[in-house]
Structure 1
Amino acid sequence: MARAATTSDVFNAIAEPRRREILTLLRTGERPVAQLALELGLPQPGASKHLRVLREVGLVRDRREGKQRVYGLDAGGLRAVHEWTGGFERFWNESFDRLDAYVQELKQERQGSSER
């Protein structure tokens, strides 16, 4: 089956490291595209291209502020990613719980053998 285009799928869009960097930067607040480009070390057209993809999949929103376009995070678009990764969070929590129970067992065995 063919892979979805990056402009229609959140998972493919965030697979690109620069796009994840943009989302990380936008967590702290809105930024003009020129500032994002500077912080990323990209030419403005390159930053704009990544921002367009993120906007099309619903991860960022933009607005005009004078002659600038300002971008902000739209975290609601990450809901599908959050829900998908939630299953793995449960897996890891259960794994750590089992590991903790095993460590406690070993401690009790060690205490029991040292008391003899």
Structure 2
Amino acid sequence: MTSDRLSLVFGALADPTRRAILVRLTEGDATVAELAAPFVMSQPAISRHLKVLENAGLISRTRRATARLSHLEAEPLREVTTWLTRYQRFWDESHERLDELLAALQGKGGRGTVARTEGDDHG
């Protein structure tokens, strides 16, 4: 995923209304009226949100008779998840190092430096 597309996806996901629209679209395609129903905003405002989602590649829009349906396109979310995975590994490794440090402190009788646990019979 290019950094420009990544920026568009993160920008689209930054708004809670757009995130809620994506959640709704996991249940199936929907019209603007259906997507607007739970919100206290106009259909044109929802349409503007849909345009942002469409520009980010998170939805596609098609016509069926007189209705214009929005459809979830989840591939950009997979790409974002892949991008974020490297940071998950970073945090996992950081937590492992912290666990090792805590274990070393406890093993050295680091009493007072580590919170006592239930069943601790030191004093």
Counterpart of 1:45 in structure 2: which amino acid? Answer: P
Structure exhibiting the larger radius of gyration computed from Cα positions: 2
Aligned residues: 108
**SS of 1:9's equivalent?**
helix
How far is the alpha carbon of 1:103 from its aligned partner?
5.3
Q: Percent of pairs identical after alignment?
A: 40
Q: How does 1:1-116 map to 2 (within 5 A)?
A: 9-102=8-101
Bigger fraction of residues in helix: 1
Structure 1 residues 95 and 62, CA, compared in 2 at 3 Å: closer, same or farther? Answer: same
Unaligned runs of at least 5 residues, structure 2: 110-119
Q: Distance in 1 between matches of 2:84 and 2:29?
A: 26
Structure 1 residues 100 and 54, CA, compared in 2 at 3 Å: closer, same or farther? Answer: same
Moved more, 8-17 or 67-76: 8-17
How far is the alpha carbon of 1:29 from its aligned partner?
2.1
Match of 2:114 in 1: none
How far is the alpha carbon of 1:28 from its aligned partner?
2.5
Q: Structure 1 length as normaliser, TM-score?
A: 0.71
RMSD: 2.9
